[in-house]
Amino acid sequence: QKEVEQNSGPLSVPEGAIASLNCTYSDRGSQSFFWYRQYSGKSPELIMSIYSNGDKEDGRFTAQLNKASQYVSLLIRDSQPSDSATYLCAVNDRNYKLTFGKGTLLTVNP
């Protein structure tokens, strides 16, 4: 059973701080990795994708991938109250089937 593990949280950070979200996956053949944000009552929204080892930055978001350690992370700089949501890590296996973690609830306190 391929698994994607995330801390369920809640993770609470003050406004302006860096929020760090982590994810590990079990399938060493995984090809591509994604972070989604889901507000309560809404559908998941793609915020980052990463395919290669290293860092990928997009605005306030940085995704980090370490395939040797089977680890993906998402950093949110200058966190805002509007960033408060559940963050879902998703991993594509070698058949391009997407498996999701259970999500980490992030709360940014003003």
Which residues of the shown chain bind other proteins in the complex (CB under 8 A)? 31-32, 34, 36, 42-46, 49, 51, 88, 90, 92, 95-103
Query: Which lies closer to other proteins via its Cβ, residue 61 or residue 100?
Result: 100
One-letter amino acid for residue 44 of the chain: P
Q: How many angstroms separate the CA atoms of 90 and 39, rounded? A: 16
Per-residue tokens: 15 = 């406004």
CB of 34 to other proteins, least distance (A): 7
Query: Which lies closer to other proteins via its Cβ, residue 11 or residue 17?
Result: 11
CB of 97 to other proteins, least distance (A): 5
Q: How many angstroms separate the CA atoms of 83 and 80, rounded? A: 5
CB of 44 to other proteins, least distance (A): 5
| Cβ pair 91, 30 in contact under 8 A | yes
